[in-house]
């Protein structure tokens, strides 16, 4: 059973406030700052997406429930191609690093892919509640 704690922390914008922290019983003592090897290179949100593309290109990534209650899946590789196309489109219309974007809507594959494209386009984006910052694509 996960352990819950209420902490007062400062998020990246400098705001003080309570955060709910959930920890698995196997790691109840501290929060993880990074992944263990061989994933120690994964440090940003974009790194998470890229790692999925490299390691699991043909595996299901995002799905949509059909009316017959079955799921239609997009693979990590397909998702990476859509993410790259969206990021290219954002740059093409003049979105520059440091620009601001608000995403509002129900959870869906398109929302996740636009969020990932934004991470690729604008490395200054930080996830809400102090998550890992995005970084530009390496290589």
pLDDT tens digits along 12-59: 555 555 656 666 677 666 666 677 778 888 878 888 889 999 999 999
Residue of 64 and 3 predicted with greater confidence: 64
* Pure H helices in the chain: 45-56, 76-92, 109-121
Give yes or no: residues 48 and 21 share one domain: no
Query: Which residue range(s) make up the domain with 95?
Result: 35-139
Give me 118's structure tokens. 């934004």
Give yes or no: residues 83 and 122 share one domain: yes
Give yes or no: residues 41 and 19 share one domain: no
Give yes or no: residues 133 and 76 share one domain: yes
Give yes or no: residues 16 and 84 share one domain: no
Please state the domain count of the chain: 2
DSSP 105-125: S---HHHHHHHHHHHHH-TT-
Question: Residue 19: its pLDDT value, please?
Answer: 58
Report DSSP state, residue 57: T
Whether residue 13 has a cis bond before it, omega within 30° of 0: no
Compute the C-alpha angle 45/47/51, nearest 5°. Answer: 125
Question: Residue 82: its pLDDT value, please?
Answer: 95
Residue 76 has pLDDT above 80, yes or no: yes
If pLDDT is split at 50, 70 and 90, which confidence band does 134 have?
Answer: very low
Euclidean distance between CA atoms 12 and 15, whole angstroms: 7
Give yes or no: residues 80 and 131 share one domain: yes
Contact 63, 138 (CB under 8 A): no
Name the region of 87 (left: φ>0; alpha: ψ -120 to 50; beta: rest).
Answer: alpha
Give yes or no: residues 27 and 77 share one domain: no
């Amino acid at each position: 059973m996960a352990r819950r704690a209420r902490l007062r922390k400062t998020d990246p914008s400098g705001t003080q406030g309570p955060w709910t922290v959930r920890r698995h019983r196997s790691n109840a003592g501290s929060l993880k700052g990074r992944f263990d090897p061989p994933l120690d290179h994964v440090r940003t949100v974009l790194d998470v997406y890229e790692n999925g593309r490299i390691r699991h290109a043909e595996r299901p990534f995002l799905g949509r429930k059909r009316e017959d209650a079955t799921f239609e899946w997009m693979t990590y590789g397909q998702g990476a191609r859509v993410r790259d196309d969206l990021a290219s489109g954002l740059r093409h219309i003049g979105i520059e690093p440091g620009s601001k974007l608000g995403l509002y809507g129900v959870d869906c594959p398109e929302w996740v892919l636009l969020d990932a494209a934004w991470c690729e386009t604008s490395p200054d984006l930080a996830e809400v509640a102090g998550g890992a910052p995005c970084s530009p694509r390496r290589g």
